[in-house]
A and B are shown apart, each in its own frame.
Chain A
Amino acid sequence: MMQQFTFQTRWRLSAMLALLCLTTVLSAQTVRGKVTDESGAGLPGVTVRVVNVSDRGTTTDALGAYTLPAAVGERLQFVYTGYESRIMTVPADGSPVDAVLQPLSTVLSETVVVGYGTQKRSDLTGSVASVTGDQLRSSVTTNLDQALQGRIAGVQVTQNSGQPGGATSIRIRGANSITGSNEPLYVIDGIPFQGDGAAVQGFDWAGGANGQNRVNPLAAINPQDIVSVEVLKDASATAIYGARAANGVVLVTTRRGKKGESKISYNGYYGSQSTPQTLDMMNLQQFADYQLQISNDLGLQPNQRYLDPTLLGEGTDWQEEIYRTAGMANHQLSISGGTDKMQYAISGGYFQQDGIILGSSFDRYSTRINLDIQAKEWFKVGGSFAYANTGEKITISDGGDGIISQALMMQPDVPVRDLDGNYAGPEANFSAASYNPVATALLRNNTLDRQRLMGNIFGDLRLFRNLTFRSEIGFDDNHSLNKAFHPTYKWGVLVNTESRLLQREESSFFWIWKNYLTWNVFDTDAHKLTAMAGQEAQKGSWHGSSVTKRKLPSNDIQEISQGETAVPPTGWRDAASIASYFTRLNYSLFDRYLFTFTLRADGSSKFGPENRWGYFPSGSLAWRIGEERFMRGLNTNLKLRLGYGETGNQAIPNYLYGSSILTINSPFGTAYRQEKISNPQLKWEATRQYNVGVDFSVLNGRIDLTLDWYNKRTSDMLLQINVPSYLGGSDWLDIQSPYANVGSLENKGIDFSITTHNVASRNFQWNTNLTFTRNRNKVIELDKPDAFFLRRLYWYSEFQSATRTVVGEPLGQFYGYVTEGIFTDEADIKNHALQVPTPGADGKNPVDKRTGVWIGDIKFKDLNGDGVINTDDQTFIGNPNPDFTFGFNNDFSYKNFDLTVFITGSQGADILNYSRVLTEGMTNVYSNQAASVFNRAQYRLIDPNGSDTDPANVVLANPGTDIPRPTTTDNNRNNRMSDRFIEDGSYVRIQNVRLGYALPRSLTTRFKIEKLRIYVNAQNVYTFTNYSGLDPEIGAFNQDPLLQNVDMGRYPSPRVWTFGIDVDF
């Protein structure tokens, strides 16, 4: 197949050449040479051409030799599938131009960072996926984690908010924990930190509901500095990180200097962001019409101003008012280079992004210096230092009080500002309880300023020829200042007379010191054995304080010097430490049978003295079948991998094993009691994972496939257990139940990625990459067989048990009633199971417009058939966990043009669209509603002159509608948690389209420019979905695995257009 291809190409090219030779310039001479691989074997069919001269080219013959007319000083390019292309200049002395091609580094020979060392990809026995910095940068993202979306099989990335700097949820092979963290461990240049978002104070402290208050933990990491990201997925790869590795490990490596001439690069882009869509709400005319209708329905006095809707205009489009076209900009200047003895990389960056909703923004100033020094032939030292300063303005999104929800519900007859220029609000009597969302966004400030300094210094000491010792000291120093302000205001009838200011300052310092030896025990053709062993100690300490003031004299001076104390100031201080020992053995027999064994022991201060130390072993083996004699000549690379390992999760609060002391009043003055029962045996959550994988590569790497199957079980889950009341209780007077290690859950799934080099011709290349992730999650055991975990949306909503997690089911499924349509007439209501607590005189549903069930109310299904609709009729009505997610990337390049099209998708996850409760629930008759509410249940009177409160005279005029009637009392609880609000959240999104053009070198070298590339990028271009909300990518509310895919007015991900330029000098 391959040979045929090359033969044809060669024949065609030779024929072409024969013709073209006639036109060859006179100065051209015949250049000869040979193209070989690393081992010196000739490579047949290599394309050889003269750079920037499209009509002169050839291919090598069966022995790798070629001849080509070319002038002295012209440059020849050698291109061959699966190998790095190479450019060489024709020398003046007429000597042959021999080229040695290196295999493409992106495949098997690539080195992969695996934690405490590197390995060749071909030697890996575990499941490790890599993404290069260039791939990451093809998405325009604020933070690194967002860029991982769809890039790695087995990793599900969802942005929990479209807010600049918002937190992301990363699930590497599913969620492992109910109460602990599910975010991976990040290790940035050797410095580990947990991926939980930092919490800001939010908004509920000043009254009302909170929005999401987790912000991104990676905010200080400039994505432009990253050269590669490795994701350790299976336990045989992660176990070297022991007690912190259960959720997977993400290793981030930043750019280091390389020997050679200094390179100065500038990368910059400008972007424009906007919301991809808004919801179809009523305009003023429609709203007035609707108000007249429901006033009539409900027997209310209509607002005089709505009496003739034709006189009214469009009114205020509140969505248009809160969304804006927002700018973003990025500038990055970096210099790298070095000599034999010293290499350096220095960079500085500035990033600024305004949110598409008023009052939100993010900016980052970052610098980084990476140094590597060969101090002695046997001693290498180096270091990395990075400082970043980030500033964020967080707007209240997600929730009934969120800007997005408020903008939906605000009446269109309220202007943004009144005639005096002050923010307006609803007027008395006909008021929806909506805050002016524009004013809220701009005045309810919540800012977070963070500084982070990360650094490490390492020394590599070669003790003997095959024994090296590395010692590394790293630190991570963080400061943050969070200020939240609630101003005084008068927005129509909504008045706040007391301003409040909350200021929270936090500092933390983390250090780590690790020492390890790497010993190449054997390195023969038959046996290769490498042993690594070491020790590590780390400690993080943090402290903070929080001050709340009220009655500040002015809204303009938002400092704690003003006003009076609202809540006594509070503070906190704590620390946590881990001591570890670890070892890894890699053994390779005949380069075909590979074995890896790791063991880590972790001692953690998070656990009680009795279970402080944990041991985390793993073992894996791989068989490189492709290297077997019987497979030789097939030119395939086939590797089977098998692995098992144990890892832990210790991302829990400190001192859960012990008990605080609380004060209570007693006849003898202040007395003290324990807060809960201590459990000194508390230990980490343990995850055991099996992994079976195949790496398959054919046609010289033209097709690369990696497929993994895994089964992982987390046991000893950390839960605050429900004990019988004779052992403890949950009442505030009780000594609370302890935390204990009970319960288990399981994740199993398949992930694969296929990379193909579809076309690799001289001028045109086309590469495709597909990643696929499928995970199934199930709770196996809790502390009691009938134990359950609930998550509610708000204390005042009908959604007290929006999700329920029980044994035998996946995490965080939606739980509620099943609807069966809408009641059409009196008989329909009478014949149905009792839906209200108090039956009528006949024991059936009371049919009454104001005090009972009425035509147009929702019919709920009587699941247990007992004739009564009550909490026993709730069931699982949706699963927020997707069936699978995928990413599909295509890179095209034609001459100097390149085009990338990246598509991501998620299939089968359900969404609880809580926004529709607000926009279609008619919970407040004065709130604006979605235009679809015109299709709500309408009545028809059988006798037009009869009473509209006589059940026998009223029937449903539009059977088939799924929106109930408006009601001021809602006896039937139409808006209770039901499948009415569950929607299919499957989507396919054109995530990125990028078109770039590299200016010809002949043009740029005149200006000493090595490379100049310009590009345009469109992100979040279009989403194919049936979901009716703004954005089907919802994520987990504050990273909570039990509150996934709940759309409470989530900040939508913006559509971004960027124009960028990359220059290398």
Chain B
Amino acid sequence: MKLKYLFSILFVLSMNACSKEFLEIPPVDRLTADNFYRNASDVRAATAALYGVPWFDFNDKFFWLTGDCMSGNMYYTYDQEGQFFYFSFTPGNAHLSAGWKGIYRVVSYANSIINDMPRIAENNGVSRGVIDGAIAEARFMRGTAYYFIAEYWGEAPIVENAGALVAANDLILPKNTKANLYEFARRDLAFAAETLPASDGAGRVTQWSAKGMLAKLHLTMAQNLGDSKSAENFAKARDYAAKSSKRAAFRL
């Protein structure tokens, strides 16, 4: 009969045996966000994705259609592209939506790094310096993207974390004012200017890239917002521009 009690003890023990790990089954046959970012080179490979591919749809046609075509520097009158030359485009224009989707794609690429990478990389023991550098790289891209969004659309939603919005079922975002878009871009670029290294591999952004963009941003703000901070912005634009252009490496 003692056996019976042994069994009952076993039973009670087994009730507690379901530890948390038992339910933790990340995929083992492919890379996932949760098992990626194992080391510095993973983190760098993730930020490498911010260059090139995500910018494609914005750059491919929209950039020159809204820039060169609309300014009259370029003569192109064919089909949907031509609508920019003639200023006759409507919301249905394919290049207009490609540009809009394209620039927010840059935002989404950057956000996926800013939001998910630090937690995972930190758990994997990646150094804080590498993590911050990568965040800064992503925020440079996001700040630059919002700069363009402010420039081309004036007012638009700001998305910092799409996953959280989806989880909260908060999908329809209000438009932010142009001043807010500039300010959002400024914070991203300022963080990048402080955090990015002074030099990096060829093609990678550095703190000088950020400062250059900040000069451009402040100049634009001073001119476009026309608010009380205009003079301050002009001064900042001058300072950032001077800092960058006086460096031997960037001298024109």
Contacts and interface: CB of A to CB of B under 8 A. Distances in A.
Interface stretch (B82-90, B105-113, B125-133, B232-240): B105-113
Given A654-B25, A672-B36, A728-B108, A579 B171 contact: no
A738 B29 contact: no
Interface string B17-34: 110001111111111111
A603 B20 CA distance: 9
Interface stretch (A195-203, A566-574, A692-700, A810-818): A566-574
Contacts of B26: 655, 658
Interface string B222-249: 0000000000000000000000000000
Contacts of A517: 11
A674 interface: yes
Given A723-B162, A727-B171, A579 B49 contact: no
Interface in A451-480: 459, 461, 463, 469, 471
Interface stretch (A389-397, A729-737, A986-994): A729-737
Contact of B27 (A469, A654, A667): A654
Contacts of A543: 29
A673 B112 contact: yes
Interface string B29-60: 11111101000001011111101111011000
- Most A Cβ at <10 Å: residue of B4, B44, B49, B107: B49
Contacts of B56: 733
Interface residues of A, number: 68
Interface stretch (B96-104, B177-185, B210-218): B96-104
Given A660-B31, A727-B171, A738-B166, A733 B14 contact: no
B49 A671 contact: yes
Nearest to B163: A677
Nearest to A742: B169
Contact of A471 (B7, B46, B159): B7
A23 interface: no
A469 B3 CA distance: 13
Contact of A537 (B18, B27, B47, B159): B18
Given A515-B11, A725-B104, A576 B31 contact: no
A796 interface: no
B116 A678 contact: yes
Nearest to A613: B23
A871 to B, nearest CB: 16
Contacts of A604: 23
Q: Describe B's contact surface by its main secondary structure.
A: helix
A572 B27 CA distance: 10
Nearest to B117: A674
B82 to A, nearest CB: 22
Contacts of B28: 573-575
Nearest to B46: A672
A669 B202 CA distance: 13
Contacts of B3: 379
A670 interface: yes
Nearest to B7: A461
Given A463-B8, A726-B156, A671 B162 contact: no
Nearest to B173: A726
A886 B166 CA distance: 44
A378 B5 CA distance: 12
A795 interface: no
Given A537-B22, A667-B51, A740 B166 contact: yes
A664 B32 contact: no
B116 A674 contact: yes
Contacts of B157: 726
A659 interface: yes
Given A574-B29, A727-B162, A666 B4 contact: no
Given A728-B108, A731-B101, A721 B166 contact: yes
A612 B204 contact: no
Given A654-B27, A674-B33, A724 B166 contact: no
Contact of A469 (B11, B57, B162): B11
B4 A378 contact: yes
Given A572-B29, A655-B26, A469 B169 contact: no
A576 B28 CA distance: 12
B201 interface: yes
B23 A671 contact: no
A919 to B, nearest CB: 40
B45 A734 contact: no
B252 interface: no
A515 B14 CA distance: 8
A669 to B, nearest CB: 7
B131 to A, nearest CB: 16
A517 B167 CA distance: 39
A378 B4 CA distance: 9
B105 A733 contact: yes
Nearest to A541: B25
Q: Describe A's contact surface by its main secondary structure.
A: strand
A678 B163 contact: yes
Contact of B51 (A655, A666, A735): A666
Given A537-B18, A577-B22, A679-B167, A668 B201 contact: yes
Contact of A724 (B48, B57, B171): B171
Contacts of B44: 668
Nearest to A462: B4
Given A655-B32, A665-B52, A735-B105, A579 B23 contact: yes
A471 B100 CA distance: 60
A498 B189 CA distance: 57
Contacts of B108: 677, 727-728, 734-735
A463 B2 CA distance: 10
A389 to B, nearest CB: 28
A681 interface: yes
A736 to B, nearest CB: 10
B31 A672 contact: yes
A471 B48 contact: no
Contacts of B172: 724
B158 to A, nearest CB: 9
B26 to A, nearest CB: 7
Nearest to B108: A735
Given A515-B11, A654-B25, A658-B32, A681 B167 contact: yes
A741 to B, nearest CB: 9
Interface string A506-541: 000000010101000000000000000001010100
B29 A573 contact: yes
A914 B163 CA distance: 41
B165 interface: yes
A603 B162 contact: no
A737 B162 CA distance: 9
Given A667-B203, A674-B112, A734-B105, A740 B167 contact: yes
B189 to A, nearest CB: 20
A517 B4 CA distance: 13
Contacts of B173: 724, 726
A659 B32 contact: yes
A102 interface: no
Contacts of A670: 45, 48
B23 A679 contact: no
20 contacts: A461-B7, A539-B22, A543-B29, A571-B29, A574-B29, A603-B18, A605-B24, A609-B24, A658-B26, A666-B52, A671-B47, A671-B48, A672-B48, A672-B49, A673-B109, A677-B108, A677-B162, A677-B166, A728-B108, A737-B166
Which 8 A-B pairs have CB atoms at the shortest separation, nearest pair first? Answer: A671-B48, A671-B49, A661-B31, A579-B18, A666-B48, A605-B25, A668-B48, A673-B49
Interface of A: 378-379, 459, 461, 463, 469, 471, 513, 515, 517, 535, 537, 539, 543, 571-579, 581, 603-605, 609, 612, 654-655, 658-661, 664-674, 677-681, 721, 723-729, 731, 733-735, 737-738, 740, 742, 783
Given A378-B1, A666-B52, A721-B166, 17 more contacts: A654-B27, A658-B26, A667-B48, A667-B52, A669-B45, A671-B48, A671-B53, A673-B109, A674-B112, A724-B171, A725-B100, A725-B101, A726-B173, A727-B108, A729-B105, A733-B54, A733-B105
